Amino acid sequence: MATVELHTPITEEAIRALHVGDQVRLYGTIVTARDAAHKYMKDTFFRGPAIPEGEQAVYDRLRALWRDGVMYHCGPVVSRDTDGRWRFVSAGPTTSIREEPYEADVIAHFGLRAVIGKGGMGPKTLSACQQHGAVYLHAIGGAATLIASYVKEVLDVFKKDELGVPEAFWVIRVEGFPVVVTMDAHGVSLHEQMYEASRQRLAALL
């Protein structure tokens, strides 16, 4: 099977050409966000009638980075070089289902084209992918150091002091980041298929 190369920003046409099982290599800018980051977005950007004072700059940057962009469910281990530059030491994917209550709204609001994580997500996210033209990309669990080697540069970080290093929004540049499409923009989820096959197998055994 051929590997598809995607460079951010990614077009909706390129996303809708993907199907479950496709292998992808990502290039360009992506932004990490996990549990605390999603709660922050919901509380800060989605609940009130206006963005709170002091939060507009972060909101504007995320809007620009995520329009036709990529989110990575990741709580990295980072170090800082003597020249002050951040570097990813470990960059393994976080279990994504914890973000299921938020992700559909985030995809719709920011215009995301892809979400990277592990373990898959649920029906709300799958529906949002189909409606808005996005995919879920499965990264390799247990290979955090290897994955960090595809992170070529840390470009920025938001909310590190408030949320903590693992939960902050890290803006990174990746080259050849390996992932597999496991939820596509056509309403197909490999995770649902595997669950149903396992359920049927268990029922047959019992």
Catalytic positions, written as ranges: 38
What single letter denotes the amino acid at residue 94?
T
CA distance 181 to 198: 20
Six token digits for residue 189: 């989820």
Q: What interhelical angle do 100-110 and 56-66 show, nearest 10? A: 80
CA distance 26 to 59: 24
Cβ contact 40:163 at 8 Å: yes
